[in-house]
Amino acid sequence: MTNKQMVKAFWEEFEAIHKDLQKAIRNEDREALKVLLDTLNDQLMLIAGCKCEVELADNGFYELTFDTGMNKTAQYICACLKKEAPHTIVDEWIINAFRQPLSERAMHTVLNIKGQQYTPVDFKIYYDIDTNMKAMHVQMYCEAFKSMDEVRQYDIARYLLELFIGELELEARIASLRILEAPIDHENVVLLPNFYEDICDIVIDQDWTSYSDPTVIYSVYKLNEEVKAMGLRKDITILATSNPILFEELQNQEQDSCRDFQDKGGEYGYCYYDRKDESEASAIRNAQIEKELHELLYPLGIARTIGSGIGTKHCYIDFAIFDKPLFLQALKRINEKTALELFYKSFTA
């Protein structure tokens, strides 16, 4: 079964039980809610490797949030899940492809650690603005950290940051995180529940790029232009990707992300074509081709582009493919109707 087919099956299951979900949420029936969520989450683990959460928002809408854990494959799939949601569900549910800032769950968070309760206002954030990275270096303090080992400290800190500033801003804005043993004197200090507001103000004041979701945050790599290696992708001199972990794995000849996506009915791969222009012209042309392919394939739930590269011999466009048979059919038709001939190769081939 392709990932696209699995996404469709998920929504069929959700449509069948969503009224029961709403009833369980309204009645605060935790036992019934757990049974229903377990059914959905078992399916979601197979589709995207993540789980979901549900709640009743202040505006009266029911809310469904996919908890991707900042995993890129999960982010791509959950973005597709949101896009493919039936109108009957969209009319009654707010669907979040990734964790939003300041959710109801965040506001009611209480940590019980060794018999002591800690609320979000017990956590202080100290931060420095890095204008070169267009990001922030964060230090966090709370008395609760003293009773934890280092791994537990960072797990709790990252979880709380994700709850309060959201998955998008955590990925886009936080360059580093450190746990403090004691409070410090610092110019920029704020309680955790107020940190998101500071981030928003900084993004505006510093004129940083705004992002709609984590799947459109790109990293750019400049590779050794002196190396003119033979073979596909070995000639790349500059590459942009929304999946840096995949890039690093491929550089190290590892395929963990590729195999993980394959297990979920998808595939990471790339199209390539002969480069005919000078470097700047090639980059502009390749970016336009990438944009056009994304706008053609993504609305159909077939694939999405996740990056591109310029090589000395070829130009490349990278894909997360949700339905390989449909993708190959679409590629054949594209090649029949355009002068440009695109060749496809899987990263696992």
Q: Parallel, antiparallel, or unpaired for β 135-141 and 111-113?
A: unpaired
Domains and CATH numbers, the chain: 3-98 (no CATH), 105-205 (no CATH), 218-346 (3.30.70)
- Tokens 């549910």 correspond to 93
pLDDT at residue 279, rounded to an integer: 67
What is the chain's pLDDT, residue by residue, as a tens digit (349 residues)? Answer: 999 999 999 999 999 999 999 999 999 999 999 999 999 999 999 999 999 999 998 778 899 999 999 999 999 999 999 999 999 999 999 999 999 998 878 888 888 888 889 999 999 999 999 999 999 999 999 999 998 999 999 999 999 999 999 999 999 999 999 999 999 999 999 999 999 999 999 999 999 999 999 999 999 998 866 655 568 888 898 999 999 999 999 999 999 999 999 999 999 999 999 988 776 777 888 889 999 999 999 999 999 999 999 988 899 999 999 999 999 999 999 999 988 899 999 999 6
Question: For residue 146, how far is the Cα from the chain centroid?
Answer: 32
pLDDT at residue 319, rounded to an integer: 98
Report DSSP state, residue 213.
Answer: S
Q: Which H helix or E strand runs over 260?
A: helix 256-263
Q: Which H helix or E strand runs over 261?
A: helix 256-263
Distance CA 313, CA 67 (A): 41
pLDDT at residue 104, rounded to an integer: 77
Contact 195, 130 (CB under 8 A): no
pLDDT at residue 349, rounded to an integer: 66
Query: Who contacts 39 (Cβ-Cβ below 8 Å, separation ≥6)?
Result: 13, 17
Distance CA 149, CA 326 (A): 49
pLDDT at residue 225, rounded to an integer: 61
Sheet holding 51-56, edge to edge: 51-56, 62-67, 93-96
CB count within 10 Å of CB 252 equals 8
Sign of the CA dihedral running 177, 182, 183, 185: negative
Task: Concatenate the DSSP letters of all residues of 116-184 into one string.
Answer: EEE-GGG-EEEEEEETTTTEEEEEEE-GGGGGS-HHHHHHHHHHHHHHHHHHHHHHHHEEEEEE-SS--
pLDDT at residue 231, rounded to an integer: 82
pLDDT at residue 216, rounded to an integer: 94
Question: For residue 310, how far is the Cα from the chain centroid?
Answer: 24
pLDDT at residue 103, rounded to an integer: 80
Helix, strand and coil percent figures for the chain, each rounded to 5: 45, 25, 30
Distance CA 308, CA 41 (A): 33
CB count within 10 Å of CB 58 equals 8
Whole-model pTM: value is 0.92
Distance CA 332, CA 324 (A): 12
Contact 174, 135 (CB under 8 A): yes
